[in-house]
Amino acid sequence: MKSLKYLFTIALIALFFVGCKYDFIVPEEVPVIDPDDPDAEEISFSADIIPIFESKCVACHKTGGQLPDLSAANAFSSLNSTRYINSSTPEESLIYTRPNPDNTDSHPKYSATEAVYVLGWIQQGAKNN
């Protein structure tokens, strides 16, 4: 009986050490886009911004849903107003501030990288490219 206790104890210790596995999560590397750098990567509305809207926004902001309509066909024309894009102070643009990861309301959020791209696109003139 005593050997059974030792065997059970050794098995428990072995399970404890085998069961303690930690997967390291590498933090998202956030790109830096300098709006004053003439050689900075140009952010494309169709290639960079629309996919963000499709993954985060279109569930609610679609044709017949909440405004603005961020579906691929209508996003640019829906955003092309001073209500959503503030070209003089891009950091205050509603399309950037409302889903910004730093905003504490319950609205779905951009990732840090997505927020950088949306802000960079606005800073580069919010072009339909």
pLDDT in tens, 50-60: 999 999 999 99
Range ranked top by mean pLDDT from 1-5, 37-41, 73-77 = 73-77
Query: Is residue 90 assigned to a domain?
Result: yes
Can you give the residue range of the structural domain that contains 98? Answer: 2-123
Average pLDDT, the chain: 86
**pTM over 0.85, yes/no:** no
DSSP state of 58: T
Query: Is residue 129 assigned to a domain?
Result: no
Query: Is residue 91 assigned to a domain?
Result: yes
Query: Is residue 62 assigned to a domain?
Result: yes
| DSSP code per residue over 93-116 | -HHHHTT-TT--SSS----HHHHH
Query: Is residue 86 assigned to a domain?
Result: yes
Asked whether the beta carbons of 99 and 68 are under 8 A apart, the reply is: no
CA-based nearest residue to 82, from 95, 100, 99: 95
Main-chain dihedrals φ then ψ at residue 19, nearest 5 degrees: -80, -15
Query: Is residue 27 assigned to a domain?
Result: yes
Query: Is residue 32 assigned to a domain?
Result: yes
* Per-residue confidence (pLDDT) for residue 124, from 0 to 100: 93
Dump pLDDT digits (tens) for 64-75.
Answer: 999 999 999 999
